[in-house]
Structure 1
Amino acid sequence: MAVAEKLANFLSRKSIAYRQIEIDVASSMDALVLASGRPQHDFIQATMLIDIAGVVMAVHRFDSTLDLDSVQQLTGRRLQPLTARQLTRLFSDCAPGFVPPIGAAWNLPVLVDEGVSSAELVAFTAGTGHALVEMDARSLRLALAGAREGRLVIHGQAVGQREALTLEDVADKLQNVYRLPPMPALALRLLRLTRNPEASAKELSELIEFDPSMTAQIMRYARSALFAYPGQINSVQEAVTRVLGFDRVAHIALGIASVQAFDVPRKGPLGMDNFWRHSLYCAFLCQSVAARVGHDKGLAYLCGLLHNFGLLLVGHLFPTEFDELNALMEINPEASLQALEQEVFGHSEQEEILSVGHGAIGGILHRLWQLPEPVIKAAGMHQQIGYHGDHEEYVAMVQLANAVLKEQGIGDEFNPGDVPALAAAIGLDLSDLALIKQDVEQVSSDLDVLASSLSS
């Protein structure tokens, strides 16, 4: 059924007119809106909230971000977003992530933002990833009858319709309009060294020892409980040959050196502290998964480590907007990062460049820096669930790692991927995934300490 059963029954019972529009199957609301070809401002969405008194649906435009402080002022309640699991139980007749903004169909109380009532025509998910519902103003009023209206969002202005850019257009504009940071000299030398099949541990160690800070970080990494090496480690070369191995040292050193290209604050959910924590956990998971499914462990580690560099580039190029994005993420931890990016950049002159998302921006930077193709794809496509194409196994590993980490509150993108489906896509048994999760739990404190040292 293209329209969720309870929604269809409600609209029929109330004799509310609507038009059903079939579209290509989308994996998320962001993808659904993109696939429709309509302006984002035409769409309304539901954000589900809960407190001890029960569940409430907040309805607002898709290109707006819910302001929980405004919700509290309107209701006198400290409501918080539902978890993905709670949403699945409540909307069992809907596909995960596709909640229609008609709360009465599920006997739920509704808050509606004042910006919605001015719409002459709206579209919203039918409860699946392959159909939309379109309503005129009269039908919408009937569907939302009894809802409490007020100001619920942070901005909510219309962004208008703009011609979509291709990635090639974005890449050209980024390079022509902004001064993109070149790959730091040490990172470039490390990258060249990793491409030399004859390179030795001695050459790698000597290169790292040019940077005292990096030397200390590699030594701290090798001595950590992550590897439980029983002996003494006195040099980088010993760390390479006895504990970490060439690839792991080269890749972590490449990550450390590359980050020096960006000037991004440490604090906040998108700051450097959390960037390193997310990246190290993701790299550890990707490497563990690759070891079990027969893919290149070192390459998988590098994909996980560098997949989110697009955020650093956004922070480097647009520090004021990045600070606002960081603050919004802090007060809306369950919101889609893509929606928050639209809220910050959707009304600015940078919008058309950043409309492709920070993932694609990172892929563009990695291509400019001539990183390996799987790393470019993992960065550029990690937000596109269901991606099929070149190096899709490495993209899926990063997506799986992010989905697992989101369950633990680690990461920056509220994108509850289908863990069993992602695992199946790369041939990983769920029993093996359970063992990998246990491994992560055992080393979590060491990864946290390492992340803190790398961001300082």
Structure 2
Amino acid sequence: MPILLVSSCDLCRIVADNLTRQASIGVSTLAIGVNTLNSDAGKGNYARLVLLHDNVGKVLVLLPAAKLLNLVSIWRETERHLQPVKGDDVKRFFSQNKLLSREGQQKLFSLPLFIDSAFEDQDMLDVIEPYSSLRFTADRSWYVASMRSIRMGLSVSDIENVQPQGDDETVITHAVERFTALRIRQRLEDTLGLPSLAPTTQKIIMLRSDPAAGVDRLVPVVKVDPSLSAQVMSWSVSPYYAAPGSIQSIDDAIIRVLGFDLVVNLALGIAMGKTLNLPEDTPRNQTPYWQQAVYTATLAERLAKKMPGDIRPKPGLVYLAGLLHNFGYVVLAHLFPPHFSLLSRYIEANPHLRLDYIEKHILHVTREQVGAWLMESWSLPKEIYNGVRYLNDPLNPKADAYAQLIHLANHALRQNGWADGPVEEALDCDVLAITGLTQAQITEEIERMQDDSDVLQDFSDSLASH
């Protein structure tokens, strides 16, 4: 009998345990992402162990640790639509005490096994399962009778070598023409079926882009939008701002409590978020969209204020860039609905790999490219779209402090289970040096956010409700 066939009761208990844990800490620590496997575990003979399943049953997969698991290769070769098992279930599956013994590890391979062709003739494999951190050495004799060899691992260079060349608009056009029925004519933004921005949003963008704009021009814009007015009043009485006395009016809320920058940024973030619906078939265990947006914006802004004064960017614009850093993800779901479910399954199957590489493999365009391009076409400030575009490439000559701060904030949040993406063991020391920040400062701000987690979660929920 194969070991570790999780029953329906086991699955219910897993879900209940996760919900209890989330409730106890006030914020979800479930996120899509594990160690990047860029260290020794990603080299040599290390094999990543993956658990897949379908209505027939479970199977194991072994492929080079750092490579992308190409699910389509398995589907094509096996004629089975095998799917990745949810991350927390995988962790429970491979954390059994039985798997600490050689006997248990050998018995694991009574499950059917698909092995990457790179390993088919090797006598011994150093195996790693990243969700549970299980590691052991497997003897070929354990699995040779049940294995099937398939070429299914793709390296980062394999993915990069087939990407279209050109600027972002050329890449986006190529992706849209390849993966949809659209054929681009005239201006790209005229053909994608994206909704136009509401008049209030357009006015807010103009205010955000005008360095001379102030509260006197913002208050009339807020007052004519009932939904925005209600939200501003709700923010102003939040315990997070601890305003003395009662709030009597919109003017009072903006002038005395919230300020121009915060109201403009939050209003614009909400307005952008309302232009498109959040996708439904997302990776399971994913950090909720608005939670990740608020936490990234909050941490990035706080880090900006810690930077030396001579290189410090505008904290308000840093906050807005953080709030919108993942907007391209929603745009991808809008542009490529038939392929978005496939993208979600690939993210689940490859939690060690950068999300932009997975998107390049599936769609040939990334959320950062399409999000930044759209923000530029909507005339948002350059600091915003540039910060979003290069957050995964903070040492690029075109990257600035906005991209570098979003990068640091996002990666620090991943280490604490508050954002999706692969987890680096340490933050990039070159990016820290450029920004003048230290690991100690970032750790201090993370601890402050833990203290504020209830308020930040309430804030995230209020944004999600709109």
TM-score (normalised: structure 1): 0.65
1:442 aligns with 2:451: yes
Higher deviation after alignment, 59-68 or 311-320: 59-68
Give 1:335-374 correspondences, 5 Å limit: 335-336=352-353, 338=355, 341-342=358-359, 346=361, 351=362, 354-374=363-383
Pick one of 55, 69, 78 that aligns with 2:93.
Answer: 78
Give 1:222-301 correspondences, 5 Å limit: 222-265=236-279, 274-293=288-307, 294=309, 295=312, 296-301=314-319
Q: CA deviation at 1:426?
A: 0.8
Pick one of 128, 143, 168 that aligns with 1:148.
Answer: 143
Q: Look up the equivalent residue of 2:451 and give its one-letter code.
A: Q
Distance in 2, Cα, partners of 1:223 & 1:360? 37
Match of 1:170 in 2: 171
- Matched residue SS, 2:63: strand
1:315 aligns with 2:333: yes
Q: CA deviation at 1:446?
A: 1.1
Distance in 2, Cα, partners of 1:338 & 1:369? 25
Distance in 1, Cα, partners of 2:37 & 2:372? 22
Pick one of 397, 409, 412 that aligns with 1:401.
Answer: 409
Match of 1:96 in 2: none
1:47 aligns with 2:48: yes
Decide whether aligned partners of structure 1 residues 113 and 336 sit closer, same or farther in structure 2, where only a CA change above 3 A counts: farther
Provide, for residues 392-446 of structure 1, a one-character-per-residue CA deviation record: whole Å limited to 9, x for no partner: 2211111111111112211222242732624333101333323312321222111
Pick one of 390, 395, 419 that aligns with 2:398.
Answer: 390
Higher deviation after alignment, 58-67 or 184-193: 58-67
Higher deviation after alignment, 365-374 or 307-316: 365-374
- Matched residue SS, 1:276: helix
**Do 2:113 and 2:148's aligned partners in 1 also have CA atoms closer than 8 Å?**
yes
Pick one of 316, 320, 338 that aligns with 1:302.
Answer: 320
**Do 1:374 and 1:391's aligned partners in 2 also have CA atoms closer than 8 Å?**
no
**Do 2:352 and 2:423's aligned partners in 1 also have CA atoms closer than 8 Å?**
no
**Do 1:362 and 1:379's aligned partners in 2 also have CA atoms closer than 8 Å?**
yes
Distance in 2, Cα, partners of 1:433 & 1:198? 33
**Do 1:63 and 1:339's aligned partners in 2 also have CA atoms closer than 8 Å?**
no
Distance in 2, Cα, partners of 1:304 & 1:72? 27
Distance in 2, Cα, partners of 1:217 & 1:45? 52
Unaligned segments of structure 1, at least 5 residues:
1-27, 31-42, 51-55, 81-107, 123-136
**Do 1:225 and 1:443's aligned partners in 2 also have CA atoms closer than 8 Å?**
no
Decide whether aligned partners of structure 1 residues 247 and 163 sit closer, same or farther in structure 2, where only a CA change above 3 A counts: closer
Higher deviation after alignment, 318-327 or 196-205: 318-327
Provide, for residues 194-251 of structure 1, a one-character-per-residue CA deviation record: whole Å limited to 9, x for no partner: 2233323132122123322222222222221221112212323222211121111101
Q: CA deviation at 1:70?
A: 11
Decide whether aligned partners of structure 1 residues 29 and 69 sit closer, same or farther in structure 2, where only a CA change above 3 A counts: closer
Decide whether aligned partners of structure 1 residues 198 and 420 sit closer, same or farther in structure 2, where only a CA change above 3 A counts: closer
**Do 1:248 and 1:298's aligned partners in 2 also have CA atoms closer than 8 Å?**
yes
- Matched positions, count: 356
CA RMSD for the aligned pairs?
4.3
Decide whether aligned partners of structure 1 residues 230 and 409 sit closer, same or farther in structure 2, where only a CA change above 3 A counts: same
Distance in 2, Cα, partners of 1:69 & 1:437? 31
* Fraction of identical pairs, as percent: 24
- Matched residue SS, 2:164: coil
**Do 1:378 and 1:394's aligned partners in 2 also have CA atoms closer than 8 Å?**
yes
Distance in 2, Cα, partners of 1:275 & 1:309? 9
- Matched residue SS, 1:260: helix
Distance in 2, Cα, partners of 1:151 & 1:310? 40
1:432 aligns with 2:441: yes
1:64 aligns with 2:70: yes
Distance in 2, Cα, partners of 1:151 & 1:72? 26
Decide whether aligned partners of structure 1 residues 285 and 58 sit closer, same or farther in structure 2, where only a CA change above 3 A counts: same
Distance in 1, Cα, partners of 2:124 & 2:211? 65
**Do 1:273 and 1:455's aligned partners in 2 also have CA atoms closer than 8 Å?**
no
Unaligned segments of structure 2, at least 5 residues:
1-35, 39-43, 52-59, 72-81, 96-104, 126-138, 177-187
Q: Look up the equivalent residue of 1:427 and give its one-letter code.
A: G
- Matched residue SS, 2:116: coil
Match of 2:427 in 1: 419
- Matched residue SS, 1:114: strand
Decide whether aligned partners of structure 1 residues 245 and 443 sit closer, same or farther in structure 2, where only a CA change above 3 A counts: same
**Do 1:336 and 1:415's aligned partners in 2 also have CA atoms closer than 8 Å?**
no
Distance in 1, Cα, partners of 2:86 & 2:264? 49
Q: Look up the equivalent residue of 1:194 and give its one-letter code.
A: R
**Do 1:282 and 1:405's aligned partners in 2 also have CA atoms closer than 8 Å?**
yes
Higher deviation after alignment, 312-321 or 274-283: 312-321
1:377 aligns with 2:386: yes
Q: Look up the equivalent residue of 1:308 and give its one-letter code.
A: N
Distance in 2, Cα, partners of 1:216 & 1:314? 30
Distance in 2, Cα, partners of 1:404 & 1:324? 28
- Matched residue SS, 2:170: helix
Q: CA deviation at 1:283?
A: 0.7
Distance in 1, Cα, partners of 2:324 & 2:88? 38
TM-score (normalised: structure 2): 0.64
Q: CA deviation at 1:267?
A: 8.4
- Matched residue SS, 1:396: helix
Higher deviation after alignment, 228-237 or 269-278: 269-278
